[in-house]
Amino acid sequence: MSSESRTEISSLGEFGLIDHLTKNIELQNVSSVLGVGDDAAVIDHFGKQTVVTTDLLVEAVHFDLAYTPLKHLGYKSVIVNLSDIYAMNAIPTQIVISLGISNRFSLEAMDEFYEGVYAACSKYGVDLVGGDTTSSQKGFIISVTAIGEVAPDKFVKRSTAQKGDLLCVSGDLGAAYVGLLFLEREKKIFMESPGVQPDLEGESYVIGKLLKPEARKDIIEFLASSEITPTAMMDISDGLSSEILHICKQSNLGCVLYEDKIPVNEQMKQAAFKFEIDPTACALSGGEDYELVFTIPQTEYDKLVLNEEISVVGYMTEAGQGAHIITKGGSKHALTAQGWNHLK
């Protein structure tokens, strides 16, 4: 928070705050019939199916304001929900957002947060149509619900992968987790020796993936324009293994995953080595990548091979064969979920 002035939120009251935060909204979608300012928003979805998802982000559980700029947090709060909508093969159209705010936050801090929210809405063509703002006893609480549209029955579930399908992922994996390790390390150093300047030279990629992730709208658009309908899809928020195991369990299938096919960024790899951890472990078990994992029939392979943002990492097998990873050394291990479990 780099606020020079400080306006107490209590000086506006709830309705004053909502007016202040929403006064510049311009609705982008014709389906947004009525936005903020009534009991509920109204959305027109004639001839489309509505997709809805929600995420709750809690300070000190999901984010640390010691190293998370509020503007980035606002942006990311929207992105994590849009990512779930894209993971259904749908297009996000509206969000509603509820905030619980303790009195240590000023109006200027809320403005920074909303700057990030509006930046994400603008970039992804989504309308903010409502919400709720209240106080919290402790910390900052963010609840976002995103709504999207999909042509009738074109949504893609997790449970419909088929035996023999190719297992694909977008982008690269594990960087957000390594970014988190850096920021946690620098925070610890700062707490112990407040004079020391942070040493994040050259780590902009991994830190950017953590603090300002993007949702893979481009992949959904590519799949649509290439006329590829994935048989199953989900977004990668808890690490690749955990998500693949969800697809296997819900589709009643097994899989083979090849370690050498898992896409990792070179900067992430070097950064992982600095922490003496295996980049593959980061990709498999690190969270918050917000990439997509999906399955396609083998016959669709030719259509996606030219897209450098998509990697084929394995294939689906019968359930009885289990879920395995073949390491670079050629050995075979059972895939285990060690995702980011907030309840542990």
Closer of 87 and 168 to a copy of itself (Cβ): 87
Q: Least CB distance from residue 197 to a copy of itself, whole Å?
A: 29
Q: Least CB distance from residue 98 to a copy of itself, whole Å?
A: 4
CB 267 within 8 A of CB 182: no
CB 22 within 8 A of CB 130: no
Closer of 26 and 308 to a copy of itself (Cβ): 26
Q: Least CB distance from residue 3 to a copy of itself, whole Å?
A: 18
Instruction: Specify the amino acid at residue 270.
Output: Q
CB 140 within 8 A of CB 102: yes
Q: Least CB distance from residue 116 to a copy of itself, whole Å?
A: 19
Q: Least CB distance from residue 158 to a copy of itself, whole Å?
A: 5
Nearest to 233 by CA among 155, 174, 288: 155
> How distant, in Å, are the alpha carbons of 132, 133, 163, 316 from that of 10?
15, 12, 58, 55
Distance CA 35, CA 43 (A): 9
Q: Least CB distance from residue 84 to a copy of itself, whole Å?
A: 4
Distance CA 6, CA 18 (A): 17
Phi, psi of 130 (to 5 degrees): 175, 180
Closer of 91 and 264 to a copy of itself (Cβ): 91
Distance CA 229, CA 30 (A): 26
Closer of 62 and 269 to a copy of itself (Cβ): 62
Q: Least CB distance from residue 99 to a copy of itself, whole Å?
A: 7
Closer of 100 and 179 to a copy of itself (Cβ): 100
Closer of 146 and 183 to a copy of itself (Cβ): 146
Distance CA 108, CA 1 (A): 9
Closer of 150 and 175 to a copy of itself (Cβ): 150
Distance CA 127, CA 93 (A): 6
Closer of 28 and 98 to a copy of itself (Cβ): 98
Distance CA 25, CA 21 (A): 9
Distance CA 93, CA 51 (A): 10
End-to-end CA gap in the chain: 30
Task: Residue 203: count other Cβ atoms within 10 Å of its Cβ.
Answer: 22
Closer of 153 and 276 to a copy of itself (Cβ): 153
Nearest to 99 by CA among 63, 51, 126, 59: 59
What residue has token string 């195991």?
Answer: 245
Q: Least CB distance from residue 22 to a copy of itself, whole Å?
A: 14
Q: Least CB distance from residue 214 to a copy of itself, whole Å?
A: 16
